[in-house]
């Protein structure tokens, strides 16, 4: 089963890398006017090992190896690249484009090494195990296709604001917006770790409503205790956090931070609603939710960014993020009677009893 999926993902990643390679000059002219085409060419080659590394990360999650899953993520690679670059004595004439290309070469090499190591590890673990692919092929792609579409649409939502800002504004302004966006994602950092553990548990509890209630309650409390304080820190120390990254006028970007932080807080408080839908047989509802959200996100960005710039992008991103979380939470309540929002989970459970 693993080798079958690996082969398909490998072929798909080659296709996407080829498209990115062929369209590098067009993408540069549209969204990255100040960036040499060679940088996007390097990025195109990085797609293949990076995608395969993330596939192996998902295999580790299915195997219940949360630590290995967490290590094989974007953040780990970026930290390694950051540490390596911090000790490289760049000459004064070294441009930002050259630094970006160096980072992408490192991404290509490090993700390739991670992929090779994890593949060897997984294959060694599979030795002696009897293949169970027969009978699963049809089910695998029937169940997996809606989830693939949902993940792809989430990627559209995550990057549509940045790409459209790149079309309308100088790259410096887009860079400041991405800094702000990355700061507010700290609010959902713990939720990401929780989802790693929770997803397999949800699948096991799909027919055990009482235990699903219990898990929803615990997740809601953990989200409250972790996301709440981080949200307040980001809110009160926003200008300082933005200035750490060398932004000259952080007060201009602070309103964007407030809006984006509200969206991330909603995302954290809604709990693992998309995971619950995907892991309990309602993956098509999750797909439809993300499809509507992606379309609305693109439309709102097209309407807001030309008039309001990064502030418009923040409004569009926050509105759609709140919208999809509220709608997905309503679907979870409809199908399972579970509310995973702080302060409300207990009320629903008491009503049941």
Per-residue pLDDT of the chain (353 residues; tens, 9 = 90+): 678 778 888 898 899 889 988 988 888 887 777 778 888 888 888 989 988 998 888 888 777 787 788 788 877 888 888 888 877 777 766 677 777 888 888 989 999 999 999 999 988 887 766 555 555 555 666 666 776 677 777 778 888 898 899 888 888 888 899 999 989 988 887 777 777 677 777 777 777 777 777 777 788 778 888 888 999 999 999 999 999 988 888 999 999 999 999 999 998 888 788 888 888 888 889 889 999 999 999 999 999 999 999 999 999 999 999 999 999 989 988 888 877 777 776 545 444 44
User: How high is the pLDDT of residue 353?
Assistant: 41
User: How high is the pLDDT of residue 4?
Assistant: 79
Question: Is there a single domain that holds both residue 306 and residue 188?
Answer: yes
**Can you tell me the distance from the alpha carbon of 252 to that of 271, in angstroms, rounded to the nearest whole number?**
31
Question: Is there a single domain that holds both residue 112 and residue 216?
Answer: no
User: How high is the pLDDT of residue 132?
Assistant: 55
User: How high is the pLDDT of residue 234?
Assistant: 93
Question: Is there a single domain that holds both residue 125 and residue 178?
Answer: no
| Numbers of helices and strands, H then E, in the chain | 16, 0
Boundary of a domain, candidates 116, 134, 152: 134
Question: Is there a single domain that holds both residue 11 and residue 125?
Answer: yes
Question: Is there a single domain that holds both residue 115 and residue 164?
Answer: no
User: How high is the pLDDT of residue 272?
Assistant: 82
Question: Is there a single domain that holds both residue 120 and residue 154?
Answer: no
Question: Is there a single domain that holds both residue 110 and residue 192?
Answer: no
Boundary of a domain, candidates 134, 162, 195: 134
Helices 74-86 and 96-126 pack at an angle, to 10 degrees, of: 130
Question: Is there a single domain that holds both residue 67 and residue 180?
Answer: no
User: How high is the pLDDT of residue 183?
Assistant: 92
Question: Is there a single domain that holds both residue 163 and residue 282?
Answer: yes
Question: Is there a single domain that holds both residue 130 and residue 268?
Answer: no
User: How high is the pLDDT of residue 313?
Assistant: 95
Boundary of a domain, candidates 74, 102, 134: 134
Contact criterion met (CB below 8 Å) for 242 and 179: yes
User: How high is the pLDDT of residue 184?
Assistant: 92
User: How high is the pLDDT of residue 306?
Assistant: 94
**Number of domains comprising the chain:** 2
Query: What's the domain range around 217?
Result: 142-353
User: How high is the pLDDT of residue 41?
Assistant: 87
**Which contacts qualify for 163-168: CB closer than 8 Å, 24 or more apart?**
163/31, 164/301, 164/302, 164/305, 164/313, 165/305, 165/309, 165/310, 165/313, 166/30, 166/31, 166/32, 167/30, 167/31, 168/305, 168/306, 168/309
Question: Is there a single domain that holds both residue 123 and residue 185?
Answer: no
Question: Is there a single domain that holds both residue 127 and residue 153?
Answer: no
């Amino acid at each position: 089963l693993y080798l079958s999926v690996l082969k398909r993902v490998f072929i798909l990643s080659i296709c996407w890398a080829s498209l990115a390679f062929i369209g590098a000059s067009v993408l540069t002219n549209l969204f990255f006017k100040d960036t040499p085409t060679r940088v996007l060419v390097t990025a195109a080659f990085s797609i293949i090992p990076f995608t395969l590394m993330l596939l192996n990360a998902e295999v580790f999650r299915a195997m219940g190896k949360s630590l290995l899953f967490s290590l094989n993520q974007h953040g780990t690679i970026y930290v390694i690249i950051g540490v390596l670059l911090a000790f490289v004595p760049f000459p004064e004439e070294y441009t930002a484009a050259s630094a970006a290309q160096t980072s992408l070469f490192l991404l290509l090499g490090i993700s390739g090494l991670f992929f090779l190591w994890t593949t060897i590890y997984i294959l060694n673990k599979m030795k002696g195990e009897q293949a169970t692919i027969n009978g699963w092929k049809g089910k695998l792609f029937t169940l997996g296709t809606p989830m693939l579409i949902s993940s792809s649409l989430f990627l559209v939502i995550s990057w549509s604001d940045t790409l459209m800002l790149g079309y309308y504004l100088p790259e410096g302004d887009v860079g400041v917006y991405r800094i702000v966006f990355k700061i507010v994602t700290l609010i959902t950092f713990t939720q990401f770790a929780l989802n790693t553990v929770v997803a397999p548990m949800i699948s096991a509890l799909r027919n055990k409503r009482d235990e699903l209630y219990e898990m929803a309650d615990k997740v809601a409390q953990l989200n409250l205790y972790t996301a709440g304080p981080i949200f307040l820190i980001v809110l009160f120390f926003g200008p300082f956090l933005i200035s750490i990254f060398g932004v000259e006028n952080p007060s201009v970007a602070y309103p964007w931070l407030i809006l984006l932080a509200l969206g991330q807080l909603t995302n954290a408080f809604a709990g693992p609603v998309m995971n619950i839908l995907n892991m309990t047989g309602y993956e098509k509802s999750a797909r439809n939710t993300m499809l509507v959200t992606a379309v609305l996100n693109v439309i709102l960005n097209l309407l807001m960014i030309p008039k309001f710039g990064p502030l418009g992008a923040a409004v569009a991103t926050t509105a759609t993020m709140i919208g999809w979380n509220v709608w997905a939470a309503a679907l979870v309540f409809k199908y399972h009677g579970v509310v995973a929002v702080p302060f409300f989970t207990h009320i629903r459970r008491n009503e049941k009893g």
